């Protein structure tokens, strides 16, 4: 696949219990660029109607498999209700908190809510800038921020990642 389309990202959708258990192997497959949660098929495979609980373990496992393989954060499943921004937001926020970088959309009307949830807030961006400025001024040594927050190299790296991700949106 990668030899035929070397510049086309390959998004591997994980849609079944078997897929979740094989997610680490799939993520390490040459050419795999992203993992994605296939929630609609997941519900069918597990024979459940819907709800967040059946997806939680699978989502967490997919995030870990992607990270362990050195891939970017995964993409979350579609949301099937086109006219319910509040419910889409309520589903997207926990996915963001689990370290997904976005959700698939089945209609352009969903994009505004998805972007709103997965785009860092002005407060988050301000935090990242303050952390990096303080870390730089401390000569890259660990420090205590005026608000009591401890900052060291991993915290500064997280701030850098947040700002880098915000510029790619």
> What tens digit of pLDDT does each residue of 77-121 get?
999 999 999 999 999 999 999 999 999 999 999 999 999 999 999
Report which of 158, 92, 93, 153 is spatially closest to residue 124, judged by C-alpha positions.
158
pTM: 0.82
Domain boundaries, the chain: 10-118, 122-167
- pLDDT class of 7 with cuts at 50, 70, 90: confident
Q: Which fold has domain 10-118?
A: TIM Barrel (3.20.20)
> What tens digit of pLDDT does each residue of 10-23 get?
899 999 999 999 99
> What tens digit of pLDDT does each residue of 20-58 get?
999 999 999 988 999 999 988 988 998 987 777 878 889
Angstrom distances, CA of residue 95 to CA of 7, 9, 27, 51, 142: 28, 22, 19, 13, 31
Is 106:80 a contact under the CB 8 Å cutoff? yes
């Amino acid at each position: 696949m990668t030899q035929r389309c070397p510049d086309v990202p390959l998004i591997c959708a994980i849609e079944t219990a078997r897929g979740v258990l094989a997610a680490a192997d799939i993520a390490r497959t040459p050419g795999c660029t992203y993992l994605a949660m296939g929630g609609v098929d997941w519900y069918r495979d597990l024979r459940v109607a819907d709800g967040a609980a059946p997806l939680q373990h699978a989502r967490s496992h997919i995030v870990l498999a992607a990270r362990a393989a050195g891939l970017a954060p995964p993409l979350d499943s579609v949301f099937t209700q086109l006219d319910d921004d509040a419910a889409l937001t309520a589903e997207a926020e926990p996915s963001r908190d689990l370290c997904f970088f976005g959700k698939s959309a089945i209609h352009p009307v969903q994009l505004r809510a998805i972007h709103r949830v997965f785009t860092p807030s002005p407060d988050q961006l301000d935090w990242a800038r303050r952390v990096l400025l303080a870390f730089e001024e401390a000569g890259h040594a660990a420090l205590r921020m005026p608000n009591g927050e401890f900052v060291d190299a991993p915290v500064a790296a997280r701030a850098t990642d947040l700002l880098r991700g915000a510029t790619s949106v």
